[in-house]
Chain A
Amino acid sequence: MPIYNLTVNGKSMQVDAEPDTPLLWVLRDELDLVGTKFGCGIGQCGACTVHIDGAATRSCLLQVSSLESAKITTIEGISDDGTHPVQVAWKEHDVPQCGYCQAGQIMTATSFLKNNSTPSESEIRDAMSGNLCRCASYNRIEQAVAAAAKKLS
C-alpha cells in the first residue's frame, strides 16, 4: 500500500493506506485519533468533522490521497488540555448527553466562530444545522456556541 505524509495537529505523520481510504478511518484505525467519530459515512451527520486548512470538513468523504499538502486538525488538536474557549463553553454548559457527536459539533463551532465572532442566533442555528445530535442536546449546543463567541470576541 502507498505511504502518505500527512500533517495532523501540527505533526508530520506517515500512513500506509489505500488511496481511497477516507481520512476518518486513517485517523481512527491507523493514527489512533479516535475523537473523530463515524456516524453515517455520507457526509450527512457531521460526527466526523475535522478542519482542513482551518475549514470544517467531513472526514468520511475525504480520500487520504488528496491530503498530502493539507493541514489537518482534529478534536485532539484544537488544544492540549481542553482549554480552547469552545471546549470550555461546552463544559460550562454541561452540553453532552451521550456525547458521541460532540467532537464534531465542537469542530464545526470552532471553524464557524473563526469566521464570524459575533454571530446572531439564526446564524448559529444555521451554521450548526449540519451536525446531528440524536440526544437532541441542541439547546445547550446553541448556548455554548453563543457563550464561546463572547469568549473569543
Chain B
Amino acid sequence: MKTTVKMTFSRRGFIRTSALASGGLLIGFNFLTACKEEVQPPVDIANLNFNDFNAYIQIADNGYVTIFSPNPEIGQGVKTAMPMLVAEELDVPWDHVFVKQAGLDTDKYRGQVAGGSQSIRQNWAVLRQTGATAKQMLINAAAAKWKINADEVTATGGIITSPSGEKLGYGDVVKEAAALEVPENVVLKEPKDFKIIGKDTLNVDLDNIVTGKPLYGLDYKKEGMTYVSVLRPPAFGMKLKDFSDVDSRAVTGVYDVIQFGDKIAVLGKNTWAAMKGKKALKANWQNDALESTEMHDKILLDLLISKKGEIRREDGDVDKAFAEADQIIERIYESPFLPHNCMEPMNFYADVTEEKIHLAGPIQTPEGTAAQVAKLLEREPEEVVLELTRMGGGFGRRLYGDFVLEAAEISNKAKKPIKLIYSREDDMTAGIFRPAIKYKISASLKDGKITGYKLKEAAINSNMYGLIPHFFPAGAIANLRIESANYQSNITTGAWRAPYTNFLAFAEQSFFDEVAESLNQDAVQLRLDLLDNVVDGADERIQYSASRMKEVIKVAADKGNWGSTSEGVYKGFSAYYSHNTHVAEVAEIRMQNGVPKVSRVTAAVDCGIVVNPTGANNQVVGGVLDGIGHAMYGDFIFIDGKPSSTNFDTYRLIRMHETPKVDVHFIESERAPTGLGEPGLPPAGGAVANAIKAATGKRLTKQPLLKYLTEAETQLKG
C-alpha cells in the first residue's frame, strides 16, 4: 500500500489547490513561526508573506511542533486523532507535538464540521499528505545544506540523517525548507511503518480536563461581558402576546431586559442575576397551533397504514412476492422524540460591534453558523470572527446555530459583549429534537426463506437521508421496497447521534430476529445467509460490504459466545452498518426483580485502520451505552406543544449502576478509516430488545423499552 501522491501545484498555490483536491480541508505549513503559546495562525491569507504561507503545522527552532486541529471537538476525539495523522507522516515524536484548536477560517480550511462521523474519514489522505509534504521539504532543505541528493537523506523522529551519519533536527532547517518549492510527489507511509497511528494516544486535553482548566464555551470569559438568560415561548406554537419586566428589573444585578421576536433577554451582572431576572418576568402567551404526541401518533400511523409514501428504493416484484407468500410478518415500530441533553447546556459569547462580529463557543458547524449570523445582522461573512471552544457534548444538537443567532442578535441590540447561557430547562425544552418516527416493516416468507421485504417510514418533519434506503437489507432480498412519508410539525427536529438509523436499526434488527424465530432459524445464521445474497460492488448505492459485515457478525458471535447458554443470562444479537462502519453486537441481560439489566455487551467493529485505539474504544463503548440508555429509558412526548420533561429529575439518562461492561473487538485492517462517533449506537437497542424477548417472551416494538415492558406485563396480568 505504498502511496505516492502527485502534487502539481506551486508552493504559493498549495493552500488553495490542496483544498480543491481534497474536497475537505485547507492545509499547510508555517515554518517560520515558533510554537509559542501566543502565536496564532496567520489570519488573512492575502497578506501572508512568501515564507509565512500556510497555517497547519508550526515547527520551532528546537524541533517542537504545533499542529492546528481544524475540526470542532465534541468529545469524539478528533482534536487528538487528526493531529496524529499529520505527526505520523511528518515523522515527529508525539511527545514533541503541541495541539491547538484552530478557529473558523474559511480561507485555510474546508469543512470545519463535526458531523456524520466524517472528520477522520474525509481528512485521512489530506492530513497525511500535509505531514508528508512538510517532511519532504525538510529533507530537501537538509540535502541542499549537505550538497547531496535528497534521495540519499532519511528523516525520522524529527531528525534528518545523511548517508555519512550527519544529523540535523527539523528545527535546524525550518527556515531553509520554507523557501523551497513544494515537492510534486510525496510518499506516504505503509501502515506497517506507522509509529503513531494505531497506538494508544491520550486525549490531548486530558490534563486540562482533570484539573478543571477553562476549556468549554461556558468557561469562556471576556472583560466587560454581560450574562444573558432568555425567556422563550413555553410551548411550540405559542407566541409572545405581552409582558411586564418591572419585577425582573427590580432583581439586584439585572442590567436590562430586551425583547427580540417572541423572546425576552435578561442581561445581568452574572449568571444568577440573569436567571433570577428571567424567572421574574411576567409574560402572556397566545396559542397558535399546539401539537401533541397523541395527535402525532394518529397522523404517523395513518401515513404508515393508509397513505402512499415516496418510494426510496424498489427492487424486483414486491407485490408478487407478497401475493405468493406462505406467511407474512408485519410489525410497526415506534419511537418518541428525544432531546440531546449535552452536559454543557447551549451557550455562546457574542460581541457585535461596527468593526466586527466576535463569536466564541461550542458549535459543530462554525462556517454555516457564521454565515447565518452575518445574514441575520445584514453584515458580510468576512466580518465574523469565530473562536471554537471544546464542547461539552454535541450529539447533533450543536449542528444547529439557533443559540448563536440568539447571542448575536442580543449583543447587536444591547451594543455589548454578552454571554448567552441556557438553563437545563431551556436546553431540554427549546431543543432541536430527534423526531418521533414510526416504521412498518413487512416480510413475505415462502419455503423457509424471505422472498420480499417492505419498509415504510413515517416521521416528523423529514425522512431518512442520503444512502440510508440502500443500507442492509438492500441487495440481500430480491423483492424490496423502501418508502417514506412525513408530517410537517412546528416542533423543531434535527440530527441526533446516528440520525434515523438510531431507531431504524432497532426496528430492522428486531424484525429480523422475529423473522428468524418464525423460520425457526438461528438469528446470526439468518443474517449471514441473507448477506450471502449480496454481491459487493454490484450496486454503487449499496456501500456496506457483505464480506465486512459477515466478518463483524462472526467475530461478535464468537467473542460474545453466541449459542452457548448459562443460567439466567439471555442474549440478543444485532448488526448494523452506518457512517461507513460495520458493527455487530451481542447483548446479555439478566432479570432482576422482573426488570431486565444489561450485564454485558460484546461488539465487533470494522472501521478500517483504527487511528487511536484508546479513543476508538471510548467512542464505541460510549455509543453502545448511549444506545442502551436511550432505548431503555428515553421518553419525551409533547402535550399541547410542551415537552413532557424539562430536567433530569423527570428525564432519565443511563447511570453507572445501570451500565453493562462493553467489550469491543476491532477488525484488523489496512483499509482507510471510517466513522466511529456514531456507528456503535444504532445496533445496541435491537440487541437489548432481542435479549429481552429471549428472557421474557415479549417482543417490544416501542421505545422506551422499559416503559412498554411494564405496559405489556400489566396487560398480561389485567
- Residues of A whose CB lies within 8 Å of any CB of B are 1, 17-18, 20-22, 25, 28-30, 32-42, 44-45, 47, 74-76, 79, 81-82, 87, 90-91, 94, 96-103, 106, 122, 125-126, 128-142
Contact = CB atoms under 8 A, between A and B. Distances in A.
B44 interface: no
Interface string B388-403: 0011111100000000
Given A125-B657, A137-B622, A18 B273 contact: yes
Given A36-B212, A94-B614, A129-B655, A135 B206 contact: no
A137 B270 contact: no
Interface residues of B, number: 65
11 contacts: A35-B212, A41-B424, A87-B211, A98-B74, A98-B342, A99-B75, A99-B392, A100-B344, A126-B657, A129-B658, A142-B656
Interface stretch (B213-221, B634-642, B687-695): B213-221
Contacts of B656: 125, 128-129, 131, 133, 138, 141-142
Given A44-B649, A94-B203, A94-B614, A101 B211 contact: no
Given A75-B212, A126-B657, A94 B648 contact: no
Given A97-B619, A129-B657, A1 B252 contact: yes
B76 A97 contact: yes
A94 to B, nearest CB: 5
A29 B272 contact: yes
Interface in B622-679: 622-626, 629, 647-649, 653-659, 661-662
Nearest to A80: B211
A35 B213 contact: yes
A45 B423 CA distance: 13
B227 interface: yes
Contacts of A102: 209-210
B42 interface: no
A27 to B, nearest CB: 10
A132 B343 contact: yes
A38 B270 CA distance: 14
Contacts of B435: none
Interface string B123-156: 0000000000000000000000000000000000
A45 B648 contact: yes
B618 A94 contact: yes
Contacts of A22: 272
Contacts of A132: 343, 648, 653, 655
Contacts of B658: 129
B463 to A, nearest CB: 27
Contacts of B369: none
B341 interface: yes
A62 B658 CA distance: 28
B622 to A, nearest CB: 5
Nearest to A44: B648
Nearest to B215: A99
B75 A97 contact: yes
B345 interface: yes
Interface string B592-626: 00000000000000000000001100110111111
A28 B271 contact: yes
Contacts of A32: 221
Contact of A136 (B213, B391, B614, B625): B625
B207 interface: yes
A139 B215 contact: no
Nearest to A32: B221
Contacts of B253: 1, 18
A32 B199 CA distance: 37
A39 B659 contact: no
A103 B392 CA distance: 12
A108 B77 CA distance: 25
B294 interface: no
A137 B656 CA distance: 9
B202 interface: yes
B200 interface: yes
A47 B343 contact: yes
A96 B343 contact: no
B393 A42 contact: no
Nearest to B428: A40
A66 B532 CA distance: 69
A133 B659 CA distance: 11
Contacts of B622: 97, 135-137
B601 to A, nearest CB: 10
Given A29-B227, A75-B212, A133 B619 contact: no
Nearest to B650: A44
Contacts of B343: 37, 39, 45, 47, 98, 100-101, 132-135
Contact of B205 (A35, A75, A99, A122): A99
Interface string B218-257: 1101000001000000000000000000000000110000
A87 B210 CA distance: 6
A149 to B, nearest CB: 15
Contact of B625 (A33, A90, A125, A139): A139
Given A36-B212, A44-B647, A135 B77 contact: no
A28 B345 CA distance: 15
Nearest to A1: B252
Nearest to B219: A34
Contacts of A34: 212, 214, 218-219, 221
Given A38-B218, A135-B75, A99 B390 contact: yes
A39 B343 CA distance: 6
A134 B345 CA distance: 12
Contacts of B77: 97
Given A34-B221, A96-B75, A134-B395, 14 more contacts: A21-B270, A33-B212, A34-B214, A76-B211, A91-B202, A94-B202, A94-B206, A96-B205, A96-B210, A98-B393, A129-B657, A130-B655, A132-B653, A142-B656
Contacts of A131: 655-656
Interface centre among B200, B271, B658 (most CB of A within 10 A): B271
Contacts of B272: 17-18, 20-22, 25, 29
A100 B211 contact: no
Contacts of B654: 136, 138
Contacts of A82: 207, 210-211
Interface string B355-396: 000000000000000000000000000000000001111110
A99 to B, nearest CB: 4
A99 B210 CA distance: 8
B530 to A, nearest CB: 31
A25 B647 contact: no
A35 B209 CA distance: 8
Which 4 interchain pairs have the tightest Cβ spacing? Answer: A35-B212, A98-B75, A100-B392, A75-B212
B423 A41 contact: yes
B661 A99 contact: no
A35 B211 contact: yes
B625 A37 contact: no
A77 B659 CA distance: 30
